[in-house]
Amino acid sequence: MFFDNPGNATALEGISGGGDSGGPAFITTDSQLYVAGVSSFQRGDGHQEGTYGVREYYARVSSNVEWIETVISNAETTSVIPDHLIIDAIKSDNKQQLINALNNAVLNDEVIMQEALLQTVVLNRVSLARELITRGADIGSILINELSVFELAMHSERLDYLRMLIFEFPHLKSIHGERSRVLPLLIDIAGRDTDPQVLEAVDILLNQGANINAQTRDGDTAVILAGWISGNLDLVTLLVERGADVNIPNNNGDTPLIDAAYKGRNEILEYLLENGADASIKNYAGRSALDMARHNKNQYAVVC
C-alpha cells in the first residue's frame, strides 16, 4: 500500500509506525470492517519509515485462510482446573498448606504441577514457586500452553519471579528446550538495562541450555535485539563470544549489521564486521547495511 499525503489519501488511509509489524490493514465491506492483511515491512525509497511516500507491504490474509482455519479447528478446548490442596494453597497464598500437601506423587503429577506453576505466575506467588522448585518441581520438563515457566513469567511481566528463577537456581541444567525463546525474550524485556545483572542473567540462561540462536515470532535473535534495543556493546560481545550467529536475519530480512547501520551504532557495527558479519546481505526491502548507512547519512559506517 502506498501512503499518500492528505491531499490524495482516502478517508481512512493509514500506515504502521516503527515497531508495528504485525498490525492489521482493514477494508470495509457492507459497513463491516475486515482484516485484509498483516503488516510486514516498508520500503521508503528516500522517505522515513511511517511517513508520506513510503510503501507498506502486507501478508494477505486470504492467502492463509486454510492455515488459519486449521489452527482454529485444532485448538485445544480450555482444560478444567484440577482440584487439589496445592492449588488451593497457592490461591490463598498459604505456604504452610502447600508444604503439608507436597509429596513425591504430587511433584510427579504433570497436570497438577502445570496448574500449580501457572497459578504461581498468574498470581505472582514468588515464594511459593521457590518452594515448589526447591522441593523438586521439574521446571525444565513442564510446559504451560507450550511455554516454559521462564517464558510464561516473561510474557506476564513477572520480573521478580523471573529474577528468582534465574539467580536463585543457576545450577539447574538442560532446562530450556531447543525451541525455547527464553533468551531473546529476556533481551526484549531487559535489554535496555545496562546493569551488569543483565549480562549475568544471559550467561546463566546459556549455561542452563538456552538456544543462543532462538528466534522470536518476529524472527529476532538475542543478538539482533541486543543491538536494536539498547546498543549495549558488552551484551552483543557476550552473545557473539558465546556463539551467536551474527548473520541470521529476522522476518524483515534485517541482520544485526543492518540494524546497527540503521541505528547509527558504529561501535557495534565495527565489532560485527570484525566478527563475521556479512555486509553483502540485503533485507527484504532490498537494502544492505551500506544502503542503510547511506540512507541515514552515517559517514562513519559508509567508510567502514
**Tens digits of residue pLDDT in 61-74:** 888 888 888 877 77
> Residue 1's pLDDT is what?
60
* Pair 294, 187 in one domain: yes
* Pair 165, 284 in one domain: no
| Radius of gyration (C-alpha) of the chain in whole angstroms | 23
CA 151, 233, 296, 248 torsion: positive or negative?
negative
Instruction: Please write down the HEC assignment for all residues of the chain.
Output: CECCCCCCCCCCCCCCCCCCCCCEEEEEECCEEEEEEEEEEEECCCCCCCCCCCEEEEEEHHHHHHHHHHHHHCCCCCCCCCCCHHHHHHHCCCHHHHHHHCCHHHHCCHHHHHHHHHHHHHCCCHHHHHHHHHCCCCCCCCCECCECHHHHHHHCCCHHHHHHHHHCCCCCCCCCCCCCCHHHHHHHHHCCCCCHHHHHHHHHHHHCCCCCCCCCCCCCCHHHHHHHHHCCHHHHHHHHHCCCCCCCCCCCCCCHHHHHHHHCCHHHHHHHHHCCCCCCCECCCCCEHHHHHHHCCCHHHHHC
Cα separation, 265 vs 257, in Å, equals 9
> Residue 65's pLDDT is what?
82
Domain boundary among 75, 96, 113: 75
Average pLDDT, integer, range 239-266: 94
C-alpha grid cell, residue 160: 521478580
* Pair 159, 230 in one domain: no
Query: Which residue type does 116 have?
Result: A
Cα separation, 158 vs 197, in Å, equals 17
Cα separation, 118 vs 41, in Å, equals 35
For residue 153, give every residue at least 6 positions away whose Cβ sits within 8 Å of its Cβ, in sequence order, or none: 121, 161, 162, 165
CATH at 44: 2.40.10.10
C-alpha grid cell, residue 44: 521508503
Domain count, the chain: 3
Q: Is residue 41 over pLDDT 80?
A: no
Q: Is residue 301 over pLDDT 60?
A: no
* Pair 157, 228 in one domain: no
* Pair 82, 71 in one domain: no
CATH at 128: 1.25.40
Q: Is residue 277 over pLDDT 90?
A: yes
For 43-60, the pLDDT digits (tens) are 776 667 777 877 888 888
* Pair 70, 91 in one domain: no
> Residue 8's pLDDT is what?
74
* Pair 234, 291 in one domain: yes
Cα separation, 117 vs 55, in Å, equals 46
CA 162, 166, 167, 169 torsion: positive or negative?
positive
* Pair 183, 286 in one domain: yes
Average pLDDT, integer, range 118-145: 93
pTM of the model: 0.70
* Pair 249, 285 in one domain: yes
CATH at 266: 1.25.40.20
Cα distances (angstroms) measured from residue 87 to each of 97, 100, 111, 125, 287: 10, 13, 11, 12, 53
> Residue 295's pLDDT is what?
75
> Residue 179's pLDDT is what?
84
CA 163, 169, 173, 174 torsion: positive or negative?
negative
* Pair 178, 211 in one domain: yes
Sheet hosting strand 32-43, strand order edge to edge:
24-29, 32-43, 55-60
Domain boundary among 32, 56, 75: 75
For 143-190, the pLDDT digits (tens) are 888 889 999 999 898 999 999 999 999 998 888 888 889 999 999 888
* Pair 183, 226 in one domain: yes
- Owning domain of residue 82: 78-169
Domain boundary among 47, 75, 103: 75
* Pair 127, 251 in one domain: no
Average pLDDT, the chain: 87
